Amino acid sequence: KKRIFSGVKPSGDLTLGNYLGAIKNWATLQEEYECFYSIVDLHAITVKQEPAELRKRTLEILAIYIASGIDPEKCTLFIQSHVPAHSEASWLLTCNTNMGELSRMTQYKDKTAKVKDNEAIGSGLFNYPVLMTADILLYQADAVPVGVDQKQHVELARDIAQRFNSTYSDTFVLPDVIVPKEAAKIMDLQDPSRKMSKSDDNPNSFILIMDKPEVIRKKISRAVTDSIGVVNYTDEQPGVRNLINILCALKGYKPDEVVDMFRGKGYAEFKSAVAEALVDEFTPVQAKVRELLSEKSKLEEIYKKGAERASYEAQKTLRKMQKKIGLVPR
């Protein structure tokens, strides 16, 4: 079986973008691939986190993975910081990465665009893609399922792997990107030119996986559309197109089918179909998350077993890296 690695960082509550762009797709892929899915807490601390919140959210995300249909019997689920090889490999790779290629990462540029002074930018934020590279390469992943916003980082991981292979000799599998079709980039409900993001200040911009039904209905009814008034899948109607994408990703429809379904109908009817599809999807997930969080020992068992399995694979690769670089084996 081919292998995949992916992760979500617990830096905020998970959104519909994380769910459709990543988690729901991961559940589908588990039948076909050997999967390693992590909660990447070391990535979350590249920006300030409240310790108690971080701890709580990390476990909630593990519960969300399982509640969304990711089977801990089939997949390796673990918390990144439980496998120290990630930090170690990250340093070895940092020494094989140049400032230039990290400076070109668009996520870094976006996140620091408004900061005038380098003194105010954490170096963790700059080095973030190297840690992500370590995550992927340690498991010799053939593919990495992510939303479009993470594509550039996976390509960097591939470049770094290729360079390491040619500097030292064949060590890493070169990872490919897997991007979901309609859900590759779920847009902000208030500004459909931007990606939906958990760090947005306006809660009407995003749907959270744990949002209550009435909140979901309200946010969808307020979603920005246009004055054209016809449900069409075009660039001129980015708000409507985004809602069509959401409905397609939830229900397995094609965009054309949705356009046909709502021919001659108004936005109110269309939006309420989108809202109900979301409520139908998230109600059972939320119930399962609550159930899982009420029996912490079960979650603990899952992440401990996951860390053991992940460590075994990660150590194998780390040893190889150390040896090739010239570190004396213990």
Q: Which residues here bind ligand TYM, judged by CB under 6 A?
A: 5-9, 17-18, 21-22, 40, 43, 132, 135-136, 144, 146-147, 149-150, 153, 183, 185-186, 195-196
The gap from C-alpha 99 to its chain's centroid, in whole angstroms, comes to: 25
Query: What value does the CA radius of gyration of the chain take, rounded to a whole number of Å?
Result: 21
Catalytic residue among 56, 74, 109, 111: 111
C-beta of residue 196 within 8 angstroms of C-beta of residue 186: yes
- Structure tokens, 48: 């300030």
11 is in an annotated binding site: yes
Closest distance to ligand TYM from the beta carbon of 294 (Å) = 25
In one-letter notation, the amino acid at residue 83 is V
Is residue 186 part of an annotated ligand binding site? yes
Of residues 26 and 326, the one with the C-beta less far from ligand TYM: 26
Whose Cβ is closer to ligand TYM: residue 107's or residue 261's?
107
Backbone phi and psi for residue 107, each to the nearest 5 degrees, phi listed first:
-65, -40
148 is in an annotated binding site: yes
Q: How does DSSP assign 241-308, residue by residue?
A: HHHHHHHHHHH---HHHHHHHTTT--HHHHHHHHHHHHHHHHHHHHHHHHHHHH-HHHHHHHHHHHHH
Token digits of residue 25: 């797709």
Give me the residues paired with residue 79 across strands: 39
Closest separation in Å from C-beta 94 to ligand TYM = 15
Closer of 50 and 117 to ligand TYM (Cβ): 50
198 is catalytic: yes
Catalytic-role residue among 24, 185, 198, 271:
198
Residue 92: CB minimum distance to ligand TYM, A: 16
Q: Whole-angstrom Cα distance, residue 149 to residue 106? A: 9
DSSP annotation of 15: B
**CB-wise, 96 or 261, nearer to ligand TYM?**
96
The reply, when asked if residue 81 is annotated as ligand binding, is no
Residue 169 neighbours by CB under 8 Å, 6+ apart: 324
198 among annotated binding-site residues = yes
Shortest Cβ 39–ligand TYM spacing (Å): 9
Q: Which residues are annotated as a binding site?
A: 9-11, 17-18, 135, 147-149, 186, 195-199
User: Which residues are part of the catalytic machinery?
Assistant: 111, 195, 198
Binding-site residue set for ATP: 9-11, 17-18, 147-149, 186, 195-199
